[in-house]
Amino acid sequence: MAEMNHPSESRQAVDVFLDAIADAIVDRLERRQGARRRLLDMERTVDYLGMSEDTIIRLVSDGKLTPVRVDRRLRFDIRELDNLIEASKKGH
């Protein structure tokens, strides 16, 4: 391990380490929160499927994806999104 001669180098190393830990905690909390969330809004659906909003709207129009309306906003059941992914793997 490299020797640190200056206190500011030690402090920088500690800061980098603490930032890495904080990022890991944030990532883990987001995954846990996402795992509990059954209905996703459009933005999260776009991220989850890796598709554009236009493509998702087209899937809704084609009857391949059924939105859930909550307070006049579209939400998508994550289980249905998973089924869509599985069906596309099988070529359906």
Right CATH number for 38-92 from 1.10.1660, 3.90.550, 1.10.10, 3.20.20? 1.10.1660
Global pTM value: 0.58
| Domain range annotation of the chain | 7-36, 38-92
Closest CA to 65 of 55, 4, 47, 17: 55
**pLDDT value at residue 37:** 81
pLDDT tens digits for 4-35? 567 788 889 888 888 889 888 877 777 766 55
Q: Which helix (H) or strand (E) holds 7?
A: helix 7-36
Residue 77: exposure state from Cβ atoms within 10 A (0-12, 13-18, ≥19): middle
